[in-house]
Amino acid sequence: MSVKVRQITITIRTIVNGLCYFATFVFGINSLGLLLNSGQLAINSIMGGSTNNENGSKIEENVDSLSPVKENVAEGIKSTGGKED
């Protein structure tokens, strides 16, 4: 085997090993984050923290507050004939 082919083989092997190490590190950090998140959710549910019903009502309030904006936009489109500049 020539020296150049051997160098190319070693380079490719090094790149593949580096990518595998990087992927392992990324997946490890993701799994740690998911475990911490599930622990936080479990603690919140045990301690009686924020429930989904409270969050849902807040979202509905925000949507209702945007309805005048929607009406103004609709009126603006009607007055210009639906044409944009």
Q: Are residues 45 and 55 in the same domain?
A: no
**Number of compact structural domains in the chain:** 2
Domain extent, residue 64, equals 51-80
pLDDT value of residue 27: 95
pLDDT tens digit sequence for 6-58: 999 999 999 999 999 999 999 999 999 999 999 999 999 998 865 555 555 55
pTM of the predicted model as reported, rounded to 2 decimal places = 0.44
Yes or no: say if 50 and 44 are a contact pair by the CB < 8 Å rule. Answer: yes
* Residue 56 placed within a domain: yes
* Percentages (nearest 5) of helix, strand, coil residues in the chain: 85, 0, 15
Q: Where are the alpha helices (DSSP H) in the chain?
A: 3-47, 52-65, 67-79
Q: Are residues 9 and 44 in the same domain?
A: yes
Q: Are residues 12 and 32 in the same domain?
A: yes
* Residue 85 placed within a domain: no
CA angle 5/7/8 to nearest 5° reads 65
Tell the residue number behind the tokens 């990087």, with chain if given: 22
Q: Are residues 19 and 45 in the same domain?
A: yes
* Residue 26 placed within a domain: yes
pLDDT at 83 over 60: no
